[in-house]
Chains A and B, each alone.
Chain A
Amino acid sequence: MEVLKFFFEYKEAIFIIALSIFVGIEVISNVPAVLHTPLMSGANAISGVIIIGGIILVGHADLSKFSLSLVLGILALIFGTLNVVGGFAVTDRMLEMFKKKKK
């Protein structure tokens, strides 16, 4: 029963998951080995999408008093940003090198 309830409550999300898995597989298959490292790094940066959660968390945090949650929330934001900014920057740097040699 719980499983059926879970499915119904989250039916849209479960559809998204099912289709995303398919899209993820479809998009990645047939990648040349040359691109495995940049691709891994780029995908890694996308997984930093957790930062949205960090923004929501800190965004609605109660600032009237100091709390451990706020500190941890800020930490989550910094970690998330590292993942996103660092990830995209390093991927760009790798791909920049591929570009250069084309000339």
Chain B
Amino acid sequence: MDKIIGTLNGINFTIGDTLLELSYLIAALLFVFGLKLLSHPETARRGNLWAAGGMGLAMLTTLLLHKAPNGSGIPLTNVWIILASIGVGSVIGWIVARKIKMTAMPQLVSIYNATGGAASMLVALLEYPNAVAGDVSSILVTVLGLVIGAIAFSGSMIAYGKLDGKVGDIMKPFMTYLNLVLLIVTIALTVFIIISPNEPSEMIWAIYTLMALSLIYGIMFVMPIGGADMPVVISLLNSLTGIAAAMAGFIYSNEAMILGGILVGAAGMILTMLMCKAMNRSLLNVIIGAFGGGGAAGAGNEHGTIKEIQLSDAAVLLSYSQKIVIIPGYGLAVAQAQHIAHELDTLLEGKGVEVKYAIHPVAGRMPGHMNVLLAEADVPYEKLVEMDDINPDMPNVDVAIVIGANDVVNPAAYDDPSSPIYGMPIIDAHLAKNIIIMKRGMGKGYAGIENFLFFNEKTRMLFGDAKSSITKLVSEIKSM
């Protein structure tokens, strides 16, 4: 392995060095292929495994073959420490990933994103003292890795808190200005550190201050953003974590890190854009728009009346329908009602009723989250219909059952220009012949907007926890 096989730019390189770089190339290609396969339903699982394989390969060869600039490999004691650390991280990561409830998936993704950001931040922090004074380019990437990693870390932690209901939306008008000031100060300090001719060892105070500022900025940046916009924010933060990892890749001139990081950065950015498109909003609007901050007055208060439906009436209505569409939202997931919903649809199918699920692109807490939840409950793939495919058929639907969804069926998106969701594509539940809405209470939806569908004269409300409501409904239908 230590046999010198050539010289490049005056530096000898060995078989080991060559194999290491070769393994990075393979890892990088596996990342690209993995991501490609991940974007098709049939190959997604394989893609994930390929990418994981690439990561494992790069980790292993780094451990075995990496050399310090003075040519020494990684000493055995260090190898043990590394293996122990990786072991601890793997066990925790694996157990949490296996145990977590599917409804809490978005929270977990933000936590893991936070750890990635924290790792980038720490690596950059620890590499900074090794930078050479006046070497602008190497200090630039180190400092950027630190700033971006720190923002991704603290921002993801706040996003986690919001998704988990631990952190509320705090939006004060002055916060926009405060954030702007904070951002300017952070950028100014970043530039100061980069162009400073001082030895890095004299700048330690500055680098810690910068880290603190970036952490605070991450918190302040996510804090005012409404809970409904968290998926977009997580995707954006995910993209930042990738960029931070790529910056760290520059420190080590490591192509696998640079490529992997930038790949995620670009993919995350595109995914963010796709989600914004699904909600018909611009990214800027999401970041400074403060959705659901109470500014949604709506068009006056001409509410009309709410009509409730009895369980027995609902059971009859459903049993004698021909076509039923279930529109699930996050409320269904929170109530863990996906299994009993599946029981309801099988029961109705047995009575000759055609049942479909209409999935809004942003139903749940993340795009595609609802598909995962329903898949968990064994609802067949063919029964899940996407919004654009079901909408033309909505007028023929006898009953639209809205379970724990709200904003994705709010007709204000069509006819109320003052509504914050005006222009967002929705599932046309209001076109169905009958509408049953299962809801815990008359509270507003996640985005805090009044929903006029509730006051539609075709609408009947069935109040209560989704799981117990559907359970009662199922036994009611069975006893008919």
Contacts and interface: CB of A to CB of B under 8 A. Distances in A.
Do A and B share a complex? yes
Contact of B250 (A10, A38, A83): A10
B314 interface: no
B35 interface: yes
Contact of B116 (A6, A79, A88): A79
A32 B38 CA distance: 11
B312 interface: no
A97 to B, nearest CB: 4
Contact of A101 (B86, B249, B375): B375
Interface stretch (B44-52, B400-408, B453-461): B44-52
A7 to B, nearest CB: 9
Given A13-B258, A28-B270, A53-B252, A47 B59 contact: no
Interface string A13-25: 1001100111111
A27 to B, nearest CB: 5
Interface residues of A, number: 82
A21 to B, nearest CB: 4
B41 A100 contact: no
B9 to A, nearest CB: 12
A60 to B, nearest CB: 5
B263 A23 contact: yes
Contacts, number: 376
Contact of B252 (A2, A30, A33, A56): A56
A33 B259 contact: no
Contact of A50 (B63, B119, B274): B119
A80 B116 contact: yes
A92 to B, nearest CB: 6
Contacts of B98: 89, 93
Contact of B251 (A16, A53, A80): A53
A37 to B, nearest CB: 4
B77 interface: yes
B34 A58 contact: no
B242 A52 contact: no
Interface stretch (B293-301, B347-355, B362-370): B362-370
B256 A36 contact: no
Contacts of B32: 23, 27
Interface of chain A, helix or strand or loop or mixed?
helix
Given A37-B369, A50-B244, A53-B249, A86 B108 contact: yes
B78 interface: yes
B86 to A, nearest CB: 5
Nearest to B109: A41
Interface stretch (B87-95, B164-172, B328-336, B414-422): B87-95
Interface of chain B, helix or strand or loop or mixed?
helix
B275 A36 contact: yes
Nearest to A80: B119
Given A47-B241, A88-B55, A40 B258 contact: no
B93 A49 contact: no
B144 interface: no
A31 B275 CA distance: 11
A90 B264 contact: no
B122 A76 contact: yes
B476 interface: no
A50 B120 CA distance: 6
B45 A43 contact: no
Contact of B108 (A21, A49, A52, A90): A90
A50 B88 contact: no
B376 interface: yes
Nearest to A23: B32
Contacts of A82: 89, 92-93, 112, 115
A94 B55 contact: no
Given A28-B270, A84-B93, A85-B93, A46 B51 contact: yes
Interface stretch (B10-18, B213-221, B378-386, B426-434): B378-386
A79 B367 CA distance: 26
Contact of A74 (B35, B62, B81): B81
Contacts of B118: 75-76, 79
Contacts of B149: 50
A48 to B, nearest CB: 5
Interface stretch (B123-131, B175-183, B284-292, B466-474): B123-131
| The 5 A-B residue pairs with the shortest CB-CB distance in the complex, in nearest-first order | A81-B89, A24-B266, A86-B93, A36-B367, A89-B97
Given A47-B238, A80-B115, 8 more contacts: A30-B39, A34-B41, A55-B74, A78-B89, A83-B116, A86-B94, A89-B97, A90-B97
